[in-house]
């Protein structure tokens, strides 16, 4: 098939991704301007993924915005680097006649389309950011947007390989099944890398940090965020400082699990959490920390405070 107007400009590249993908895929199969297409795809991923990350990270301030704007494009490229070698080798083994550069351009084209969709959702993200949306809503919204964009990108790749299979006879149909499995692998690797590179949204109650050092996993964080959103929580509470052994009334250190049910005073909880008694008193009044009022005094059960502390740590993972 002769191609009268090959895709040789950036505007033509974007137009082809959005409305003429069959032409894009056929040019890739014919080997037309592969390096230009690869370069345009890299520019698109870097610019538009960075733009989305910049807006999403602005929730926690300029430093977090810049950090997210750098980390999101890196996430795409790192996931590609991890997953692409296995994908290409398996394609060759099942009979694909596409060259390395051709397959790379097809995959990068799909990722570029994903980033175009991310950028298209930026006004929605910015709207909820400006109007002061719930932290957990923002968190889940950004994940949902990334998921939808990723699905469209992988669909475009599948569509392109189907065209190649039907019209060019250089790609075996059985390899499409492998491509679907690879798309799932790509998603899982991307999720794990995103979890490693967090935070992206950040926490206004915490100082800026490029990378977090949390336990747990992505799926538990999603469930936690949904639960908090359903309960109407606005944002993570200020995280207490690292813990030390609680101080007992005789000035000694509490030891052993037998003291889990110990009743603590405001001063003892403050020492335990390395905060001021005034802060603990305020939190108790605002019901930000579990406490019971006996007469004019607040009392705290150590085991409940420990569970609350674990919850704060888990909350900051999201």
Same domain for 15 and 156, yes or no, is: yes
Indicate whether 276 pLDDT > 50: yes
C-alpha distance from residue 252 to each of 255, 260, 269, 271, 310 (Å): 9, 15, 14, 12, 24
Same domain for 246 and 289, yes or no, is: yes
Same domain for 223 and 252, yes or no, is: no
- Grade residue 11 by pLDDT with cuts at 50, 70 and 90: very high
Indicate whether 67 pLDDT > 70: yes
Indicate whether 251 pLDDT > 50: no
Q: Which residue has the tokens 């491509």?
A: 179
Indicate whether 75 pLDDT > 90: yes
Same domain for 60 and 178, yes or no, is: yes
Comparing CA positions, the residue from 39, 47, 37, 52 lying closest to residue 6 is: 37
Same domain for 156 and 303, yes or no, is: no
Tell me whether residue 2 is in a domain. no
Same domain for 217 and 300, yes or no, is: no
Same domain for 213 and 307, yes or no, is: no
Tell me whether residue 5 is in a domain. no
Sign of the CA dihedral running 272, 275, 277, 283: negative
Same domain for 114 and 23, yes or no, is: yes
Question: How confident is the model over 125-140, as a mean pLDDT?
Answer: 85
- What is the domain extent for residue 289? 240-313
Indicate whether 202 pLDDT > 80: no
Same domain for 244 and 222, yes or no, is: no
Comparing 149 with 253, the larger pLDDT belongs to 149
Tell me whether residue 74 is in a domain. yes
**Which of the residue ranges 46-55, 75-84, 207-216, 284-293 would you say has the lowest mean pLDDT?**
207-216
Q: What is this structure's pTM?
A: 0.70
- Whole-number pLDDT of residue 161: 80
Count of CB atoms situated within 10 Å of the CB of 253: 10
Same domain for 133 and 171, yes or no, is: yes
- Grade residue 259 by pLDDT with cuts at 50, 70 and 90: very low
- Grade residue 316 by pLDDT with cuts at 50, 70 and 90: low
Comparing 76 with 209, the larger pLDDT belongs to 76
Q: Which residue has the tokens 């965020």?
A: 225
Q: Is 306 helix (H, G, I), strand (E, B) or coil?
A: helix
Q: Residue 250: which CATH number?
A: 1.10.10
Tell me whether residue 234 is in a domain. no
Average pLDDT score, the chain: 81
């Amino acid at each position: 098939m002769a191609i009268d107007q090959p895709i040789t400009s950036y505007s033509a590249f974007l137009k082809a991704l959005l409305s003429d993908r069959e032409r894009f895929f056929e040019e890739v199969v014919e080997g037309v301007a592969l390096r230009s297409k690869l370069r345009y795809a890299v520019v698109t991923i870097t610019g538009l993924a960075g733009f989305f990350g910049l807006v999403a990270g602005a929730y926690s301030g300029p430093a977090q915005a810049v950090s997210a704007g750098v980390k999101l494009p890196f996430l795409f490229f790192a996931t590609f680097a991890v997953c692409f070698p296995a994908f290409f080798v398996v394609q060759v083994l099942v009979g694909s006649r596409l060259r390395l550069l051709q397959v790379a351009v097809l995959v990068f084209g799909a990722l570029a389309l994903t980033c175009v969709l991310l950028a298209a959702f930026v006004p929605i993200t910015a709207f909820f950011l400006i109007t002061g949306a719930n932290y957990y809503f923002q968190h889940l919204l950004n994940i949902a947007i990334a998921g939808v964009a990723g699905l469209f990108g992988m669909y475009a790749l599948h569509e392109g390989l189907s065209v190649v299979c039907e019209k060019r006879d250089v790609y075996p149909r059985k390899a499409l099944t492998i491509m679907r499995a690879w798309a799932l692998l790509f998603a899982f690797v991307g999720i794990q890398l995103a979890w490693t590179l967090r935070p992206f949204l950040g926490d206004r109650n915490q100082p800026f940090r490029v990378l977090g050092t949390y336990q747990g996993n992505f799926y538990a964080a999603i469930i936690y965020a949904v639960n908090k959103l359903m309960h109407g929580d606005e944002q993570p509470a200020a995280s207490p400082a690292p813990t030390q052994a609680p101080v007992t009334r005789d000035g000694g250190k509490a030891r052993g699990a037998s003291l889990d049910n110990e009743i603590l005073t405001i001063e003892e909880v403050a020492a335990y959490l390395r905060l001021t008694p005034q802060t603990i008193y305020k939190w108790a009044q605002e019901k930000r920390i579990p406490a019971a009022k006996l007469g004019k005094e607040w009392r705290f059960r150590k085991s409940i405070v420990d569970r609350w502390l674990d919850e704060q740590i888990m909350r900051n993972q999201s």
